[in-house]
Amino acid sequence: MDPLTTWKSVPEVNQMGYEEFVTVFGNVVEHCSLVAAAVWKFRPFKDVRHLHEEICIFIDQLPTAGGEGILRLHPDLAGRAAREATLTSESNREQRAAGLTDLTHEEKMQLTRMNDSYRSKFGFPFVICARRNKKEAIMEGIRSRLKNSPEVELHKGLGEVKKICYLRLLDLVEHEGVESRL
């Protein structure tokens, strides 16, 4: 069963065993089920925000190498994984919503060059919350962020991971009255 087909109530989330929890929430941080595994022990969660807060605390407590590792798990935007149709369903949906599947040939080439420059400079891919941006803002974002230091980019990239995570949690957990903006 695709975990995105049914919202879970917070009481259902709190009743989940370890394996089910990791299965359902293992990709709220791209390809990093370790995050779900680490926060499971903090049940019961009061609401989806509490679950997100625990994930953010876990991420914030990682050493630099751990944060960089989380960023390295993300695919390049409109990159090889997109071309080879190997993106996760979440990433595919997010990149499509941002208009990254409708790039012109020139835009694809430009984004590929910028992705390569970014990865070369920082050692991890450019990460931005695609669901909150369109292709123009993403292209400007990578251009602008290429000017940052590695420390600033690590912080910015992990901030974007947290935004992506929050929106993915809203896809999975009932959240009546919860604001969808961080």
Catalytic status, residue 74 = yes
Intervals of the chain under pLDDT 70: 1-6, 178-182
Q: Give this prediction's pTM.
A: 0.94
Residue 129: its pLDDT value, please?
98
Name the catalytic one among 74, 105, 155, 175. Answer: 74
Residue 178: its pLDDT value, please?
66
Q: Give the domains, in start order, of the chain with CATH numbers.
A: 3-172 (1.10.3330.10)
Cβ-defined contacts of 42-48 (< 8 Å, 24+): 43/13, 43/14, 43/16, 44/14, 45/10, 45/13, 45/14, 46/10, 47/10, 47/175, 47/178, 48/10, 48/169, 48/170, 48/173, 48/174, 48/175, 48/178
